[in-house]
Structure 1
Amino acid sequence: MPLTGHCLCKAVTYTADVDAPLLTGYDHCDDCQRQSGSTYSLVCVVPSDKLTVKGPLKKWKGKADSGNAVWRWFCGECGSPIAHDPEGAPEIVALKGGSLATEIKKGLKPDTEIWTIGKLPFCQEHLEKPFKKMPQ
């Protein structure tokens, strides 16, 4: 079953013709924190030649620590992050896990953490009172 997903407004859709991601992990790099607006980005790495994207996709060119470019993909309508595409590894694209179809992302099992040097200290703590939703 291919991996499918879309942005918030559904203008950008994608299909990765794979049964499962090559890697599913938490990316703690500063750029992913900023792009996601959160403490990390859940990424699902797929082969770039297996990915088809449709819709008003925009790309922004950033720079990795290696000096290579990293293209950040997002919806040109709603701005939702879709993926990042590192020029240093042209064979892969890292899809943003939150953009996957709901039933697919419910089945994800992260197996890797990357850029843990950027992991924020409070992400290492387990909260005593987790909330299923917003606290009342």
Structure 2
Amino acid sequence: MGLSGHCLCGAVKYTVDADPLLVGYDHCDDCQRQSGSTYSLVVVVPKDKMKITGTTKSFAGKGSSGNAVHRIFCPSCGSPIAHDPDAAPDIIAVKGGTLSVEDKKNLKPETEIWTVSKLPFCSEHLAKPFEYMPE
């Protein structure tokens, strides 16, 4: 399949030469803050299959594992591109809203993570929710 996307201003582009490993809603507080929304649509892919072009910046916060989570974004427009957790070095979570229009239309979210932080007015429920990050 493969995926592609870009930030709002187009300065950062990426391709992924793989199908998603997981597509879901991430309700963690950090994703809510980074997205400015109630959750972040994440598309987890193998890190070695993603290629980012353009200048990015990152902010490293501490994840629930105690390890850093690097939040990659465009320094020009601020669009979040992905988050890269040190606790899971083989994967990267692409922010679904930055995918190409066609790729976004083909996404099928299959789960929710960090539902412990899910806001009470988010009523949509998917099969196989996880209260925290799946192990």
Q: TM-score, structure 2 length as denominator?
A: 0.90
Asked whether 1:74 is paired with 2:103, we answer no
| Structure 2 residue aligned with 1:54 | 53
| Structure 1 residue aligned with 2:6 | 6
Change (3 A) 1:23 1:125: closer
Question: What pairs with 1:108-123 in structure 2 (closer than 5 Å)?
Answer: 108-123=107-122
| Structure 1 residue aligned with 2:131 | none
Question: What pairs with 1:16-27 in structure 2 (closer than 5 Å)?
Answer: 16-18=16-18, 20-27=19-26
2:80 partner amino acid: P
Aligned partners of 1:103, 1:125: CA distance in 2, in Å?
23
Using the aligned pairs only, state the percent identity: 69
| Structure 2 residue aligned with 1:133 | none
Q: How many residues align?
A: 125
Aligned partners of 2:124, 2:45: CA distance in 1, in Å?
30
**Greater shift after overlay, 116-125 or 70-79?**
116-125
- Aligned CA RMSD, in angstroms, stands at 1.2
Change (3 A) 1:88 1:125: closer
Unaligned runs of 5+ in 1: 127-136
SS, match of residue 11 in structure 1: coil
Shift of 1:59: 0.7
4+ long deviations beyond 4 Å: none
Q: TM-score, structure 1 length as denominator?
A: 0.89
Larger radius of gyration: 1
